[in-house]
Structure 1
Amino acid sequence: MLYRMEGIVIRGTDYGEGNKIITIFTPSHGKQGIVVKGARKPKSRYASLAQLFTYGDFSFYKSGNLGSLNAGEILESYRELRENLDRSAYAAYAAEMCDRVVGEEDASGYLFHQFKACLTALAEGKDPAIVIRIFEMKVVHAVGYAPMLDECAACGRTEGGFRFSAHLGGAICERCRHQDPGALELAPQTWKLLRIFSRIDLRQLGQIDVKPAIKAQLKTAMRRWMDHHLGMKLKSVHFLDQWEKLDELPLPVRRSPPGGQEEQSE
């Protein structure tokens, strides 16, 4: 049967001599595996379509688990993500999350559009640490593990200070904090941003400036939440963590972008 659907390439694997198997994330049919014949050959007409992060229109024949590409068109290449190691690291992490939480044939329209908006925001140069925290929140919402942020997850209390407990379900009040001694104490700004992240549509994200200390708290809170509730061992996490540590170095020794030229400070 011939299928035609839009999708974003979230994984690619070499297959045979010159071929490639790509996994695309679609809004209507979850993940789809497609063999792209000759994709690794220099003169392949579909080499660009098979690249990671490419958003395209794919036509493929499918009778079993894998489809075979018949035709395709690039709708958005997201070349900026592949050419910049910083953006690529975050985009790869977002793509791997989708690969792990989205099932085959699952309709995941909302998460698909949030993922596409995540890639767009990264390509536009918006703060990747904030973009990825918002997308993490979209992932946990999509799979039904969103944290409670406006009331105590243990007793329902809505007033007073809170701590963040991945074990108990989100916010916990001072009365209940003894139930999780390891719950995180977060700054008011961090709580505010977590609530915003829970409600915002990534397609509407503007520029946002967040202090490093607050970004660190956001990362810790979301990482604890995802580790506890999703338990995903992602290959991209270790690389991303090491990459983010470079941001803490003084400007003269920070990373250089592909091409060997040092980043310029304004």
Structure 2
Amino acid sequence: MKREEPHLVLPFFVEPKHLCHMEWTDEAIVLGTKRHGETSVLLEVMTRSHGRVMGLVKGGRSRRQQPVLQPGNSLTVVWRARLENHLGQMTTELLTSRAARLMALPLGTYGMQFISELTRLLPERDAHPYLFQALKVIVDEFEEGDVAGELMVRYELAMLSELGYGLDLEQCAATGRTDDLIYVSPKSGRAVCAEAGKPYHDRMLPLPAFLRGKASSNRVSFEELSQGFELTSFFLDRHVYRPLERNAPDLRKSFIAAVRKDLTLED
């Protein structure tokens, strides 16, 4: 007589894969929101460990939640979804409120909008903890033009690096020297010293003093900041915006104009 194989009995706590739930909790900074239906919003945040993420916040348009879900605010977010690649739902708790202060000045308004646009260059759900930390620092510094401008230039440089197009500003591409670096080669994205770059002066990009640790004074001038934005603009256009068939956002010009105005008023 043929022996029957026993039936496999799964323990009651094993859940079929199609019913599994994903959940994580993370620190986040609000980048923006979009209306979704009558009462909800799609919330876009930059998180410490999960990168740039979208999630549905039910009741996000309520009087209680609207002030919380404003660009620049820091939150604790809990993200839940049936599967990892689903949109997911978010619940939030306010950690730091910055939105009102940011919206009080053009520098803060344009700065937050521009840095949100920059951060959207990152692939969704791709962790960039260094950029998260940099973003967390910058959103608290949109009050003084020279500080905000310098940090934004550095954020653009960090963005290039995270996207795989980092510049080498530590030593001369031609001689290996680490001093007297005043140019950047538009071909290689590497620093060039004054002696090696002199014959090609008209073809070189200027390397501002604050990026080589030698600012002309305690405060960075708008001229130096303009050189920094010229440098980052050149490589962002080449490596990011042109391949995407896009232009740099107009918010960049608005932010730089706000920096100029702020420094002019101080003078």
The TM-score range, normalised by the shorter chain, is 0.7 to 0.9
Structure 1 pair 134–62 and aligned structure 2 pair: CA distance change class (3 A): same
1:167 aligns with 2:184: no
The counterpart of 2:47, out of the listed 26, 42, 46, is 26
1:195 aligns with 2:187: no
Identity of aligned residues (%): 22
Amino acid at match of 1:115: L
Aligned length: 236
Partner residue in 1 for 2:17 = none
Q: Deviations over 1:191-234 (max 9, x none)?
A: x311349xxxxxxxxx9511222222122112212222333746
Partner residue in 1 for 2:72 = 53
Which has the greater radius of gyration?
Answer: 2
Structure 1 pair 224–248 and aligned structure 2 pair: CA distance change class (3 A): same
Normalising by the residue count of structure 1, what TM-score does the alignment of the two structures yield? 0.74
Partner residue in 2 for 1:112 = 132
Partner residue in 2 for 1:201 = none
Structure 1 pair 126–184 and aligned structure 2 pair: CA distance change class (3 A): closer
* RMSD of aligned alpha carbons: 3.3
Structure 1 pair 176–86 and aligned structure 2 pair: CA distance change class (3 A): closer
How is 1:85-96 mapped onto 2 (pairs within 5 angstroms)? 85-96=106-117
Separation in 1, partners of 2:247, 2:57: 25
Partner residue in 2 for 1:145 = 165
1:183 aligns with 2:195: no
Structure 1 pair 211–132 and aligned structure 2 pair: CA distance change class (3 A): same
Amino acid at match of 2:238: H
Structure 1 pair 227–180 and aligned structure 2 pair: CA distance change class (3 A): farther
CA offset at residue 139 of structure 1? Answer: 2.0
The counterpart of 1:9, out of the listed 26, 30, 34, is 30
Q: Which segment is superposed worse, 241-250 or 226-235?
A: 241-250
Secondary structure of the 2:71 match is coil
Amino acid at match of 1:31: R
Partner residue in 2 for 1:97 = 118
Structure 1 pair 15–156 and aligned structure 2 pair: CA distance change class (3 A): farther
* Structure 2 unaligned residues grouped into runs of 5+: 1-20
* Structure 1 unaligned residues grouped into runs of 5+: 198-206, 255-263
The counterpart of 2:94, out of the listed 59, 66, 74, is 74
